[in-house]
Structure 1
Amino acid sequence: MSKTVHELRNEIRVGVGRYERQVSSGFTKEALAAICESVDADVDTAVIPGKDVMRQAISDEVAGVDGSRDQTSGFRKAELEAIAAELDGN
C-alpha cells in the first residue's frame, strides 16, 4: 500500500531533522528551508525567503518535481515521493 501525503511529509520532515506532525499539514518555512539545504537547492536560508521561492528551488534540484507549475501551492503526492527518494539517496 502506498504512503499517504501526510506520511510522506512526515518522512521528509524527519529526513531533514524536523519533527513529525500529528495532523496533516503543509511544510512550514523552516521545514522548506531544511529541505533546500538537504537537496543543495540554491537558496540563501540565512534569511528565509518565501515558500514559493523555496518550492521553486527544490523543484529545480529534484527530478520529478514540476518546476513549471505555480509554486504558491504545496507539492503533489508524486512530487513528495520524488523528494523523499532524493533524501533517501535513491
Structure 2
Amino acid sequence: MEYVYAAMLLNSFGKEITEDSLKKVVSAVGVEPDEAQIKVVVSALKDVDIAKIIEEAKNTQVAQAPAAEEKKEAKKAEPKEEVKSADEAAAGLSSLFG
C-alpha cells in the first residue's frame, strides 16, 4: 500500500510514475525499496489516469443505509397495587397474633 501512496504523491505533484521515481520516494523516507513491488505498481498504473479516478470518486454519492425503525415498546398493563391505610395494615397484622 505504501507504494500506491508514493505513486499518488508523485501524481499529485505532476511527476511521472516510474520505477526510478518510486524508488526515490520510498528511499527518501528511509525504507529499502522492494523492486518486485515497485514493478507491480508501475505496471498496474501504466494506463490508469489517477486524477480522473480521484475526480470520479469525489462525485460519487454514497448510498445511505435506511434508518433503523424505532421499536415501540408495548405498554404493559401494570397490576395496580391496592393502597391500604395504616389501620387496615395494622388490622392485618393483628390477625396474625389472635
Instruction: Give the number of the structure whose alpha-carbon radius of gyration is greater.
Output: 2
Q: Larger RCO: Structure 1 or Structure 2 (Cα < 8 Å, ≥ 6 residues apart)?
A: 1
TM-score, normalised relative to structure 2: 0.24
